[in-house]
Chain A
Amino acid sequence: MKNSWIIAKREIAERLNSKSFLMFLFIGPVLVLLALFLLFQAGDEGKSQLKILVSDEGNLLEGILHTQKNSPIQYQISRDYVSFETFRSKPEYQQYDALLDVNHKVLENKMCMVFYRDKPAVERQIGIRFQLEKRIEEILVNETSKMSISDYRKIKQPLNVVYRNVYDPKQEIDHLAGWSGFAFGLLTMIFIFLFGMTILRSTSRDKSNRIVEVILASVKSFHFMVGKIVGIGVVAFLQFLVWTIFVVIGLYFFRENLFPDIYDPANLGLNGMGSQDTFVAEGMHLNKIVELVYDRINYSVMIPIFLVFFTVGYFFYAAFFASIGASSGSESDGQQFILPLIGLFGLSIYAGYLAVQFPESDLVTYLFYLPFTSPMVALVKVSQGFAAGQSYTLFMSLLVLLISTIIAVQLASRIYKNGILQFGHRLSFKHFWKWMKKI
């Protein structure tokens, strides 16, 4: 295996000396952070500090729609009707961000309009609705009954029909946690595919520039294949490590500087508003991605299991990529054989989605043990947690993947050995079959 390591070292050096690799090594995490930033923003987009002019021609809200000092939503009541055209054009209204049109029939039609200049953040929209609804509610209760507002609110609670999985009545397995596993699984599959393609291209290139014959005169084809897979795998791992460090630093920076108060209820503009639980909860779920990234992922469990499934899954898929690369008649040949692999990657990602949505289904259980999909499904399962006494299934899945990997690497080495010195043919499944049978 000493020669495998020499081959691996050369593969590592080639990539580390490549400008495009180094560029992608650092641009990659920047792109990931940019994507995360945009996702965070999407959940938090819009104007967060609002000054609102309330057109209250029915004089319903004067004295009851309060604005607290330092609240992100500031109301200014106007007893005169202000049309949205006037609000839009008149200079004295330019200081306001939005016009809240409370029509005089609001108690009957339960409808208000907000005309904004820049769309308010979702939290602010909820805050405005919350505050207005509470005030209208108070007026209605006062006008139509002798009941106190607190009594009314006690009986007003809507009927809440909760659906629970009989096997998970406490909802310990929640989808949000599942998505964190899905994210890890997706990352695994993306890295496996990217570096699998690198193996394929590198093997085809070695064939087309005829270096293989020189190397095979010193190294067994199996050791050559293993060296190539290990070398490219080390680079993949290194890239993953660099990306992780950069992304973690970036996420820390986001939290400290750009999204410092994502869970702070004060930011919903609900200070001192009494019963807010439902709305706070609603607000808390606004930015699930932020919650997923910062709070839901148990990194101490996920990262070791991710690394194990990443490594074994990488070797499993790498065996297929290496076989295709070694069998191709030319550098461009073999491209059509990537399609079935892309199909398997698609299946794997879909399996991850199924595992998030239907964790207890029979299909997901099969996919948990299928080596093509297990790296993805296992990570979702781990993030969801296992019921007591069921964690052994994770090791069973890993064992199946490990045995499948050994078989795949053995078969791939046969194809590699018999195909690597064949040139100029058009690759077909017949070749794979012949070379796989030949010892």
Chain B
Amino acid sequence: MAILKIENISKRFFEKQALNDVSLAVNSGEIYGLLGPNGAGKTTLIRIINQILTPDSGTIFFDNEPLKQRHLAQIGYLPEERGLYRSMRVFEQLLFLAQLRGLSKSEATVQIEYWLAKFDIVDWKRKRIEELSKGMAQKVQFIGSVLHNPKLLILDEPLSGFDPLNVELILSTLKELKEQGKTIILSTHNMKSVEEICDRAALIYNAKKVCEGSVLELREAIKKGHYGLRFKGNMIAFVNALWTDFELIDKRELSDNRFEAVVAMRSAADFEDLLKSMLGQVKLEAAWEIMPSMQDVFLQQVQEEDTNQKLEA
């Protein structure tokens, strides 16, 4: 069931069309990737969901009700441009943000204690924001977006500015939140993290939604039937074994007589035929289907869209 349904949203800033008839649906309990290059319209869409901006047309439904100001207490938001009051102490800052989201002081205190302990930063409670490093302040801001226990969490580039250890911490926290039944919208350029944790994704480009689907479906939609093989043996023998049914696309020597190769099917041959043809020719160590990455999905969709627009023009 969709917790958030966006129907035909358009928004124009004077000369610039920021969103053009965008519709999408985010299912309850999933992690949804919102992808797109800079200036595509992602942040505008996120601001509209958070009621910071009003759309020129279109409707948003939250839990099957038209989105209203009161729903914001059930939405958590981490904007791309991080901002905290530099002179405030960590506890006061979090209390302020929690109260704005409708928590009482006692409820907020319990949540703040929980999250500070979870992120192992209880000692920072009395520190001023200006005393913290950028990464530390990012953690505080992340806590600020989740401590009111929102149903829907919208994170705009949540991993930027974090070191690898903290990236892992945030990703595992997101997975935990998903397990608790929370819905997460993740706007990011980090395609690896999209592949790792997102269930579904949409690509926004030039103010329009270009594609939407599960991460696996999106990747499979553009796969080219390429397979990877790692083997020990003679490269000539390997090429001979491919014969007319397969084509060598790429190869890489790992060490003496140890290679990794990429092959494509030429005829009706399949992966099983490929494995059979290798028998007795080389010592096969590993074989796999090469799936395009979300990066490939992203680039291909953008290129296709550009080509279409040129043709239309």
A contact residues vs B (CB 8 Å cutoff): 3, 6-7, 10, 13-14, 17-18, 206, 209-220, 421, 434
Contacts and interface: CB of A to CB of B under 8 A. Distances in A.
Nearest to B49: A217
A211 B52 contact: no
B61 interface: no
Given A209-B86, A211-B85, A434-B14, A217 B99 contact: no
Interface in B115-164: 141, 144-145
B99 to A, nearest CB: 5
B263 interface: no
B72 A214 contact: no
A10 B50 CA distance: 22
* Interchain residue pairs A-B with the least CB separation, the first 3: A210-B83, A211-B83, A218-B100
B100 A6 contact: yes
B130 to A, nearest CB: 10
A210 B51 CA distance: 17
Interface stretch (B1-9, B73-81, B293-301): B73-81
B92 to A, nearest CB: 8
B227 interface: no
A210 B81 contact: yes
Contacts of A434: 14
- Between A6, A10, A18, A213, the greatest number of chain B beta carbons within 10 A of the residue's beta carbon is seen for A213
Contact of A216 (B52, B92, B97): B52
B23 to A, nearest CB: 22
B96 A220 contact: no
B172 interface: no
29 contacts: A3-B100, A6-B99, A6-B100, A7-B100, A10-B85, A13-B92, A14-B87, A18-B87, A209-B83, A209-B84, A209-B85, A209-B86, A211-B84, A213-B47, A213-B52, A213-B81, A213-B83, A214-B77, A214-B79, A214-B84, A214-B145, A216-B52, A217-B50, A218-B97, A218-B101, A219-B100, A220-B51, A421-B53, A434-B14
A266 to B, nearest CB: 58
B192 interface: no
Interface residues of B, number: 29
A369 B141 CA distance: 48
Contacts of B180: none
Contacts of A206: 83
Contacts of B92: 13
B93 to A, nearest CB: 9
Contact of A214 (B51, B73, B88, B97): B97
A18 B144 CA distance: 24
B144 A214 contact: yes
B82 interface: yes
Contact of B100 (A17, A209, A215, A421): A215
Contacts of B53: 421
Contacts of B81: 210, 213
A126 B52 CA distance: 72
B79 A217 contact: yes
B267 interface: no
A10 B96 contact: yes
A215 B51 CA distance: 11
B85 A210 contact: no
B71 to A, nearest CB: 11
A13 to B, nearest CB: 8
A403 to B, nearest CB: 27
Nearest to A6: B99
A153 to B, nearest CB: 73
Contacts of B72: 217-218
B96 A6 contact: yes
A212 B96 contact: no
- Between A10, A206, A211, A421, the greatest number of chain B beta carbons within 10 A of the residue's beta carbon is seen for A211
Contacts of B82: 210
B201 to A, nearest CB: 23
B309 interface: no
A420 to B, nearest CB: 9
Contacts of B96: 6, 10
B125 to A, nearest CB: 17
Contacts of A211: 83-85
A214 B78 CA distance: 7
A213 B47 CA distance: 9
Contacts of B69: 220
